[in-house]
Structure 1
Amino acid sequence: MYCNKCGKEIPENVKFCPNCGNKIKGKTEDLLEVKEKEEEKEDEKEIEEVKEKEEQKDDEKEKEISKPGLNNSKKKTIGIFIVLLMIIVGLAGYVGFDLFSNKNNPKNEKVNTVSKKSIDKKDKKEGEDKDNQDENNADQYKEDEENTLKETPENEDSNATSSIIEGETAITEDNPNKFTCGYVFPESDSRYLNEEDLMYETSQKLALGRNEIYARHGYVFKTEPYKTYFEHKDWYAQDPSFKGGDSSLNEFEKYNIKLFLKYEND
């Protein structure tokens, strides 16, 4: 048996080396010590494996974070979201400010009030002008009522049998069949005629237009060319009871007859 420290031979069953004083362990103690060392080695090995695994995991995470595609995509998404958010906030602020300014700005209310008053004045003036025109037409009719329409509807004079121009074709006693349908002045019974309607027409055509008003009521003409001319009109129907009095005429017809006479005599 030898000392495990100094290596010298010692007697068996001694507890201390007589040379160095080292405590001598038995076989059982040697086995326990060996076992403890092995366990320590295994523990250290496990600890190292755990550390290696953790290091591997950390390396993998760092690789994922450092990937350019994923990192740039996240940055782009965050950037777009921030820009949209700023736009929405800006628009909301602008609309809110505009509404608030219009609501509390007395100038806008004043402008709107002035515009409304201007429109009302314009409409009122147009209505008054129209009323004045109607009154003038009525007054003109009343002033001339006693001096007009006393002549016979045909207005017989030296020109009664002369040619009556309709467009480019003359109608006389020899060719009364021209223009057998339609009116010379279609609206003479439904509106007030004006100077522009008559100022460029011949006196013969004006006389025909005046007598056309009477013909609508069935007046029986006795002189030419009116007698033959109106007998060939499809719409003309004789009514012997109508003698040409104003009681059967409407206001438009009365006014227009006077206007025809005015331009016939010019």
Structure 2
Amino acid sequence: MFCRKCGKELEDNWNTCPYCGETVGNVELEKEGNINKSHGKSKLWIGVGVAAVVMTAVTIGVVIGKTDTSTKRGQQTVKENSVGNAEKSKEKKIKEVKDFSSQDFETMIGTSISELEKSGLKKADGKEEYTGLNGNIQVTCQGEMIQSISIEGEETTAPSFHKARLGMSVEEVKNNLAEAYPEQEEAEGMLKFLNLEKKSSVECCFTEEKLNKIHYRVLSEEEVVSYQQAKEEKLRAEFIFPDSDKKYLSEDEVRAKTVGDLMVGRNEIFARHGYMFEDANLKSHFESTSWYQGTVASSEFNSEHVFNEFEKKNVELIKKVEDEINGVNTAFIGKAGVYCTIDDNGNGWTGWIKILDIHNDILTFELGALTPDFYTVMTETAQITSQNTAQYSEYGLTITFTWSDDSNMFVTNSGEISGTDSGIVLDVTDRRAYTWSAEFNR
């Protein structure tokens, strides 16, 4: 039986509940009543328990259902992500460029970063660098500006740079790059081409005379200044008088040179203007310099027209010192210009001689007739043999020009000559007197 107050289970022979002190009373009745109550409570607790179990089961089912659904959804998401990544990976592999041979990477300079990506290059993780062909192409950037481009590897798949391509010979590379990058430096196995105006350089490395690496880079301001200074110093070292076209030379600086240097120094004033030398030593010397370009034949060169005032005075000064050292007291007295005959030889020819140039003991002249028609017969050079004499000797004929002063000369000939114009030549040089013509030298 159970205590009606506290509900504790009691022994049948107990009259008082030892738990709460309640009097048990009629044991049979209490027992029966308690049994009934107990059954009621048991049924109640069983009902509650069943309900709880049912609710728990439902809850567990819901949770399990949700978990299962979430799991399935998670698995589906993972699966979808895996598929997406696989597709992206597949897409990357499809876009990977393995042949850049149709591209010229000089065109990349000055373009946007997106153009690098369009070309097929990949950005390196954590770096402002783009690569291709397993690192054989490397392009570094600073912001949006390309700083360097390096190309090596297989010539069949590598890009070109200003038409220079891996595998080319030294001469082929020079032909492609020299015009755009005019300054050059050369070392063993390497050629460096520079464009100081654009602040850029292209280094080309060679193995067995074949191009195997191209490296372009942007030059800093300091590098450009340094290259310009070195270039200027190297250029000045090729001259005896580097500034003879920009200032008047002093007699002291002229006299400080050897007689050999004086001859070269005087002639370099002519060389600056493209004078083509007939003297083999002078020709060889100036052709060995980096700046000389012979473009004007001696017969066409007119120093009076092309020289500035500095150059005219400096040529005179150098020649004066040269003659003094060589023991020549007076320089050649003849002057350039048109001379006409002032006598009549009875054949109707009025002769004319044009002294085109007097240079380096060489006199260049044209010879012909004014009447009855203006006619040029020959253009030749004569050797200056003294301060007032020059002599032409060719094809069996010798013509001698002798000046009495800077405006008057006497012309004679000796020997024989044949040909269509031989008569004119002999007539206008046969003991003829000539004078410098103001009319034709305006």
TM-score normalized with structure 2 length: 0.19
Q: Which has the higher strand share?
A: 2
Which structure has more relative contact order (CA 8 Å, sep 6+)? It is: 1
Q: Which has the higher helix share?
A: 1
Larger Rg: 1
TM-score normalized with structure 1 length: 0.31
